[in-house]
Amino acid sequence: MSRSVLVTGGNRGIGLATARALAAQGDKVAVTYRTGEPPEGLFGVRCDITDAESVRRAVEEARIQHGPLQVLVSNAGITRDELLVAMDESDFRAVVETNLLAAVGVVKEVVPDMIKARWGRIVLVSSVSSLAGAPGQTNYAASKAGLIGFGRSLALEVGRRNVTVNIVTPGLIETDMVKEVTGPRRDHLLSQTSLFRAGQPEEVAGVIRFLASDDASYVTAGVIPVTGGLGVGH
């Protein structure tokens, strides 16, 4: 397999694990990184996904390096947790701006390549919070729920062109993002999983790799939990 792949937020966490999993099977992977250096062994394109010009440039760089985009993993995201009553409006806006509007901007930049080629795979990284809700995450849950409606509608628009769009909803995954989820809050979340543990980024990457593969050719508009059972039933 040697497809042209773009992973946003591919410099650490779930994005990096996904980029490595796809590169290991022979894909030509470009990752966006906003800060620091690109990860070793992967083609990095500097990009702030909230900046439309930066996205346009990054996608073009990936195209020039590896050819028209065939697989997109829209993974970059942020949290700014706070109870709604205490949350600054700017924190609500920033989370929706990054997790929903910027993700839409990246998809819009990439999907014409797939429509033209009549083949493509898009995987959007949402969250179990989008379905189950989570206190302190009204902004995050709203942004990630928006991705589900967006992704499913897009799947209906591009299915005829053999482009699939799926959404993964991870639970508690061990990355920088959840470093501050400690103590009773972490224990509570773990007690709600069926597997009684947090997940590893590689366990999300494996599901994304499947959704991007030929084996998933009849899977689209799906919402796939990778939660260890957290939020079961949603």
Residue 35 interacts with ligand NDP (CB under 6 A)? yes
Catalytic site residue from 43, 92, 140, 150: 140
CA distance 153 to 122: 13
Q: Decide whether 46 or 152 has the Cβ nearer to ligand NDP.
A: 46
User: 157 to 216, contacts with ligand NDP by CB under 6 A?
Assistant: 170, 172-173, 175-178
Residue 13 interacts with ligand NDP (CB under 6 A)? yes
Residue 18 interacts with ligand NDP (CB under 6 A)? no
Helix (H), strand (E) counts: the chain: 8, 7
| Dihedral sign (CA 43, 46, 49, 54) | negative
Residue 32 interacts with ligand NDP (CB under 6 A)? yes
Residue 227 interacts with ligand NDP (CB under 6 A)? no
Nearest distance, CB of residue 173 and ligand NDP, angstroms: 4
Picking from 55, 93, 65, the residue whose alpha carbon sits closest to that of residue 5 is 65
User: 129 to 168, contacts with ligand NDP by CB under 6 A?
Assistant: none
The token pair that represents 49 in the structure block: 């996904």
Calculate the alpha carbon distances from 216 to 1, 8, 57, 222 in Å. 14, 21, 30, 11
Nearest distance, CB of residue 65 and ligand NDP, angstroms: 18
Nearest distance, CB of residue 55 and ligand NDP, angstroms: 9
Picking from 75, 84, 211, the residue whose alpha carbon sits closest to that of residue 147 is 75
CA distance 191 to 158: 40
Stretch that binds ligand NDP, among 76-84, 105-113, 183-191, 213-221 (CB under 6 A): 76-84
Residue 92 interacts with ligand NDP (CB under 6 A)? no
Q: Is residue 140 annotated as a catalytic residue, yes or no? A: yes
